[in-house]
Structure 1
């Protein structure tokens, strides 16, 4: 009988540009933060010691912060101990690698998240041409420059070529890669020439302890939302990629089609500006006013997860109009709360949402198409309830423990 490959005892999980301790929706914090924290916690339950390495961005934060059993967050020096714009972080990769280098021998494996982290892991060896000090590397892209540039929004800046080149180097050098879906694995192969035997499919999970079926009326009472309101909810960073402007235009189209709907329709947008396009967020209230729906659109800052759970519960529909998503955790969280999802027919959203069973996938980003999809559920609440009820069963198929088991397969392959 062949011997099974051993799993690592101690893993360094690198998230250079954003800490898992940050609140999703603030700055560059988003689904990646949730992914890293939840996956590390699940790996801890599987007996693996995980140290998450991130850049120190606050001098008052302790060097090491416990996150969960067998999981800690370690802050490494790289640049000033303060928030730095994401577009400036490539210049800090070498400093981060220098802080990582003396620690590297203490890990059985490194798992990097996002291209900046992957480059830092590779540069651990840059001063050791004859003797490698880097453990095996597994990398998770989360988003890819060449994929994003192939599906740019009108107002979105293209990802720079150095990022695409860096990603190509990571794909060439890493001992293992993980992808959320088979489609993402194909993108790794097609856009970067990734070797198929180095890719492991690792679907993300959803925290069913936080996000679960709930009482809409109770949540609306807590949030002071009227029982008769028709509530469309958007959750995410406010940037062109996430396309909240599509929903504002769709709401205007719904009012144009049915003026009486103005008395009850409400679009709630939860999130904060992010990325090099952060000034773009300022154009959204102006857009809503120009379309004469300003009073129907409410902009709210990021919410902690327990508060976010209440907003999901209070909504009638959760909308995810992104131009590209590697998966779409918001869609899973909404379905775990039995809310139907209307999402763009792109990327990982095709897997996160069961089209016609737990929600509706919309081809393109035209306001009329989105108005039609949203209106079809608002006008047929029985169908919306059926989709929402099916959502919880769909969401239960995505657990972080299953994600951890798949990740361990990737680790064993990379170590082998």
Structure 2
């Protein structure tokens, strides 16, 4: 597996780390439990760790030297695709298949697939054209460089894994993905970490939260695409509708800032709207601690403008917490509308405020939704996701074998991939 711009070891909710990091870790563990050995390759950022780390039995994280040994913005990453790929091709281990995550890794995957003569499976996680269609006001669109790069990866991959039918349709309609090469595999949830535990009261006691508060929770990176501004405006609308709620309303925001030039904007907006007193900033936390936050909350709010799946919604439901989410991307799959949570069409803060007010006034309904949420989430395990992914891997290997006329399982005689898109050194792939 390849993850050029973020390490599976990074704390979700910080920088560029989020649901994709969780996805890679949990899928790899589940694959290993079913007999598939996994090496996760990422870029060495000079953080002092060893070049090879064991993540779980059968799962290793390998750090490759490519570019400066420090954290770099995602915008600088296209220039590192070729150096990363060259370092990757020097590995002596023989692999059966390469699985890339996000378009930058897909570019490196194209080179590795050709150089090693093995199939390429790609999971996009997010798509530029989808993101650009749902930008927040003032947010920067994804560049044409990324769009062209995504088209290359979609065209070259032996199989594309989409989280939902909506994502599969976007790959087909926006990027021309061939339907026979596009497979739908729903992500899962780690049911060993995320579960109801000892319940809401116990979780609040451990976190030091008021036992009688109404607590809508935000968990994730703080960036315009995730809609934190929608939540802040919804809280302001809620208090305008029901000012009596102020004395018992608490809105924890568990996550870190992501992206350039927007740090603090959520908190400035909260101050401008007079609701900063009910918001509580909390740093990103490990998965076990995050589960406590889910259990402590009355509802998780996910007002994203675009979301390939929304793993936080599934995690919260597994902990017995209903979800109030935007009806975008994979969230209608993750949340059973009207049963395990509520979906909102659009991003009108008033609509979110109305739902929050109703939830605050109906604790028994929240409890019933929470019980249904646990049952809903328990039907989506990483074990099932891994079994389905193995099927995709085998199909990709068989397809590569067939194209070679039954010679081997790779693509050593297939046409070389076109040069990876970069701001510099675009001809370097020819040397590979």
Task: Bin the TM-score by the shorter chain.
Answer: over 0.9
Match of 1:339 in 2: 321
Judging changes above 3 Å, is the alpha-carbon distance between structure 1 residues 104 and 196 closer, same or farther for their aligned structure 2 residues?
farther
- Give the conservation status (yes or no) of the 8 Å contact 1:244–1:269: no
Alignment of 1:135-284 (within 5 A): 135-214=118-197, 215-276=199-260, 279-284=261-266
Moved more, 350-359 or 264-273: 264-273
When the two structures are aligned, how many residues end up with a matched partner? 397
- Give the conservation status (yes or no) of the 8 Å contact 1:87–1:275: no
2:381 and 2:203 map into 1 onto residues whose CA distance is 25
TM-score normalised by structure 2 residue count: 0.90
Match of 2:387 in 1: 405
Alignment of 1:7-406 (within 5 A): 13-103=1-91, 106-124=94-112, 132-214=115-197, 215-276=199-260, 279-406=261-388
SS of aligned partner of 2:342: strand
Unaligned runs of 5+ in 1: 1-12
- For residues 153-200 of structure 1, the C-alpha deviation after alignment (integer angstroms, 9 at most, x for no partner) is 113210001101000000100111100011111110001000011011
- Give the conservation status (yes or no) of the 8 Å contact 1:111–1:137: yes
- Give the conservation status (yes or no) of the 8 Å contact 2:128–2:142: yes
Deviation at 1:134, TM superposition (A): 3.6
1:124 and 1:39 map into 2 onto residues whose CA distance is 21
SS of aligned partner of 2:352: helix
2:305 and 2:284 map into 1 onto residues whose CA distance is 21
1:108 and 1:285 map into 2 onto residues whose CA distance is 48
SS of aligned partner of 2:321: coil
- Give the conservation status (yes or no) of the 8 Å contact 2:242–2:357: no
TM-score normalised by structure 1 residue count: 0.93
1:124 and 1:49 map into 2 onto residues whose CA distance is 18
Deviation at 1:123, TM superposition (A): 2.6
Moved more, 67-76 or 146-155: 146-155
SS of aligned partner of 2:300: strand
Deviation at 1:104, TM superposition (A): 7.5
2:83 and 2:112 map into 1 onto residues whose CA distance is 10
Runs of 4+ residues deviating >6 angstroms: none
Deviation at 1:121, TM superposition (A): 1.6
Deviation at 1:102, TM superposition (A): 2.1
- For residues 116-144 of structure 1, the C-alpha deviation after alignment (integer angstroms, 9 at most, x for no partner) is 0010121347xx8xxx5341100000000
2:272 and 2:79 map into 1 onto residues whose CA distance is 40
Structural RMSD (CA): 1.2
